[in-house]
């Protein structure tokens, strides 16, 4: 998977490098989104056919032609599509075609328990989370170590595998293209694993809540603002923040599924904030297909259940 995500990183970087080829910022971002999503769909199709993503695979080039970007086994077909999309820019079309059709080397020692690949699995892909950061990417640090407020480091590729019949997230992958880093984890039955090295625990009084800059929620956790739903979840996964709190319906299943599965692999999770505050029990986000695609009730992402319990107590008005 690591080698594979290098392909996603490189597609992101190639397109970012050639952004002057596009009439609008939106176009170069959409092409990166569509290419990564359709590459993942093509390569995983014979493994897990239900690949769903934020984007359609339609693209409009600088002369207004509508082009359907479909990855097949034939690199020449890809090359022709990309020449059309990239106004005949041969170097960019060739570099992207080579990346998309690169032979995937499977890293044998990543061979975990045989996860039975069945019809009951589906994938949410967010080919580029932190769109604004990918397009405008002005890097800004926060007052907290290892947490950027904005910039290209906040852009991530998010892949989440979930069980269709239970709506439970099982396997998650996060790629930070502009850090060339990649993280994964899974929680399948009793088997939990994560590739992430966790930062050391903070004192209760030093605990950090990472928030969207649009968030007005108050808690006794120290607040830090950062861009990117995927990036904020990653900071909780790594232990650089303790909880990610979101009270607004501004994220979707493709933003949360992958990070949620990795947090489960660490013994943590992602609560539906509204349902957890309204009811007696804490309620985890679900990926059941009748739940819609928006995380309507907001998010409480956590690595340690004690931190989630403290947030719920506080936000329910009890300390
Ligand atoms: C966005 C992205 C934004 C986030 C928004 C997500 O996904 O993660 O950064 O807003 O909620 O839906 P914020 O930065 O305020 O957390 P995308 O970039 O894929 O649209
Ligand atoms: Ca997103």
pLDDT digits (tens, 9 = 90+) for 118-165: 789 999 999 999 988 988 879 999 999 899 999 999 999 999 999 999
pLDDT at residue 319 tops 50:
no
> Residue 26's pLDDT is what?
60
Stretch 197-224: mean pLDDT: 92
* 179: CB partners within 8 A, 6+ apart: 153
- Cα 60 versus chain centre, distance: 25
Distance 228 CA to ligand 1 centre (A): 5
pLDDT at residue 310 tops 80:
yes
User: Given its phi and psi angles, is residue 44 left (phi above 0), alpha (psi -120 to 50 degrees) or beta?
Assistant: alpha
Closest to 30 (Cα-Cα) out of 77, 74, 68? 68
Q: 69: pLDDT confidence band, cut at 50, 70 and 90?
A: confident
Of the candidates 27, 38, 54, 215, the residue annotated as catalytic is: 54
Pocket test for ligand 1, best of 128, 255, 259, 296 (most atoms within 8 A of CB): 255
* Burial label, 307 (beta-carbon count in 10 A; 0-12, 13-18, 19+): buried
Contacts 24+ apart (CB under 8 A), 52-57: 52/122, 52/123, 52/124, 52/125, 52/254, 53/124, 53/125, 53/126, 53/127, 53/254, 54/125, 54/126, 54/127, 54/252, 54/254, 55/30, 55/127
pLDDT at residue 112 tops 60:
no
Q: Are 181 and 276 in contact (CB under 8 A)?
A: no
Distance 114 CA to ligand 1 centre (A): 34
pLDDT at residue 111 tops 70:
no
Closest to 255 (Cα-Cα) out of 220, 219, 295, 290? 295
Comparing 103 with 227, the larger pLDDT belongs to 227
> Residue 102's pLDDT is what?
87
Distance 287 CA to ligand 1 centre (A): 19
Stretch 218-247: mean pLDDT: 97
Question: What is the C-alpha radius of gyration for the chain, rounded to an integer number of angstroms?
Answer: 20
pLDDT at residue 60 tops 70:
yes
Closest to 33 (Cα-Cα) out of 160, 125, 143? 125
pTM for the whole structure: 0.90
Q: 59: pLDDT confidence band, cut at 50, 70 and 90?
A: confident
User: Given its phi and psi angles, is residue 97 left (phi above 0), alpha (psi -120 to 50 degrees) or beta?
Assistant: alpha
Of the candidates 78, 97, 131, 156, the residue annotated as catalytic is: 131
pLDDT at residue 40 tops 60:
yes
> Residue 114's pLDDT is what?
59
CA dihedral sign, ordered 290, 294, 297, 303: positive
Q: Which residues surround ligand 1 with Cβ inside 6 Å?
A: 54, 126, 129-131, 212-214, 227-229, 250-251, 255
Pocket test for ligand 1, best of 135, 250, 252, 285 (most atoms within 8 A of CB): 250
> Residue 29's pLDDT is what?
65
**Distance, CA of 84 to CA of 232 (rounded, Å):** 36
> Residue 5's pLDDT is what?
61
Stretch 109-125: mean pLDDT: 73
> Residue 283's pLDDT is what?
97
């Amino acid at each position: 998977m690591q080698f594979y995500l290098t392909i996603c990183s490189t597609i992101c970087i190639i397109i970012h490098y050639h952004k002057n080829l596009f009439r609008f910022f939106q176009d170069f971002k959409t092409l990166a989104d569509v290419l990564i999503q359709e590459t993942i769909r093509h390569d995983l199709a014979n493994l897990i056919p239900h690949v769903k993503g934020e984007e359609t695979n339609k693209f409009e080039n600088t002369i207004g032609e509508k082009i359907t970007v479909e990855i097949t086994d034939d690199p020449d077909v890809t090359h022709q599509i990309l020449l059309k999309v990239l106004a005949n820019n041969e170097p960019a079309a060739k570099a992207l075609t080579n990346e998309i059709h690169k032979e995937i080397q499977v890293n044998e020692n990543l061979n975990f328990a045989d996860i039975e690949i069945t019809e009951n699995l589906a994938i949410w892909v967010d080919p580029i989370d932190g769109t604004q950061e990918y397009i405008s990417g002005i890097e800004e640090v926060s007052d907290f170590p290892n947490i950027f407020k904005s910039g290209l480091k906040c852009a991530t590729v998010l892949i989440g595998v979930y069980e269709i019949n239970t709506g439970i997230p099982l396997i998650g992958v996060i790629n930070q293209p502009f850090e060339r880093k990649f993280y994964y984890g899974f929680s399948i039955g009793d088997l939990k694993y994560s590739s992430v090295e966790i930062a050391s625990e903070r004192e209760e009084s030093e605990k950090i809540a990472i928030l969207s800059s649009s968030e007005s929620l108050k808690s006794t956790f120290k607040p830090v603002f950062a861009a990117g739903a995927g990036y904020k979840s990653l900071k909780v996964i790594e232990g650089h923040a303790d909880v990610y709190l979101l009270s607004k319906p501004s994220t979707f299943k493709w933003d949360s599924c992958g990070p949620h599965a990795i947090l489960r692999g660490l013994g943590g999770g992602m609560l539906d904030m509204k349902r957890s505050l309204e009811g007696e029990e804490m309620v985890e986000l679900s990926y059941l297909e009748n739940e819609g695609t928006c995380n309507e009730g907001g998010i409480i992402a956590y690595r340690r259940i004690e931190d989630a319990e403290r947030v719920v107590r506080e936000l329910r008005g009890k300390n």
